[in-house]
Amino acid sequence: RIAALRDAVEVLALLAGLPPVAVLRPPPGGGGAATVTGPRGPSGSRVLDRVRALLAKAESTTFPAEAEAFTGKAQELIARHSLERALVESTAAHPDQPGGVRISTDAPYAGAKALLVQEVAAANRCESVWSDDLGFATVLGFPADLEAVELLHTSLLVQATAAMLRGRRERRGGGRRTKAYDEAFLHAFALRIGERLRAATDAADRQATQDAGADRLLPVLAARSGAVRERMDTLFPGVTRARLTVRDAEGWQSGTSAADRASLAGSAPPSRPLPGRR
């Protein structure tokens, strides 16, 4: 009996010390509607099929500029699809509501992986919060945007890892692995890819604004952005910011070139905050 009581106390102490986890949807049997729904209708499936095909081509090519072109086209399709969904949902009787997904950021290079999640999320009108103590990032947004983030992040992580391994082989000293080089490479890759994705989204926004009219589209986007931000403030009221440090200039330059070799010759690493969690 004494041993059982001791074990029970140890379990309770362990549970009490675990960090809190935001509830993204009601647990089974808890009642209420789930906050995340999948794409509705055949149009979404066709668009996502085309996106998957483009990303598969980006992953299979060994030419960075070609991978950039495929990934940029995929983001363009995603952005247009998101805008179409936003306009449709704005007049729906039961519109989509912001939800969330969790994306693993396990070691090694967890911070760099979280940065990639953040950049992809920002380009697709989502918010990202990294729970470094739990090993994942939570992405909040509308259903179609969340699915886009998951698709793009998975593909870009594959591309970044392959490019990093090629960069090791090409660097001075052969394929010797160093943590500082790898981290700097992945940080630079994530930031430059984020710039390219946002550029594709901005281009789609400008075209959609011309087609649908600013008076119709901009209020819808503003309302959706506010809803996502409100959801984030509700689930993560104690969000803080952490800074990632780049310690290898060669890794930074190689990662930047891998993300956009066709148009970028190199740059100094900026100081970029990464959302974290208290």
Spatial distance between the Cα atoms of 42 and 81, rounded to a whole number of angstroms: 12
Mean pLDDT (the chain, rounded)? 82
Distance, C-alpha 57 to centroid of its chain: 20
Phi, psi (deg, nearest 5) at residue 128 = -125, 135
Spatial distance between the Cα atoms of 139 and 225, rounded to a whole number of angstroms: 13
Q: What is the DSSP string of 60-75?
A: H-S-HHHHHHHHHHHH
pTM score: 0.79
Q: 8-12, 24-28, 167-171, 259-263: which has the minimum mean pLDDT?
A: 259-263
Residue 12 has pLDDT above 70, yes or no: yes
Q: Which residues have C-beta within 8 Å of that of residue 6, sequence separation ≥ 6?
A: none
Spatial distance between the Cα atoms of 114 and 137, rounded to a whole number of angstroms: 6
Tell me the average pLDDT across 151-165. Answer: 89
Q: Tokens 């082989």 correspond to what residue?
A: 169
Domain range annotation of the chain: 63-275
Written in H, E and C, the secondary structure of 174-209 is CCCCCHHHHHHHHHHHHHHHHHHHHHHHHHHHHHHH
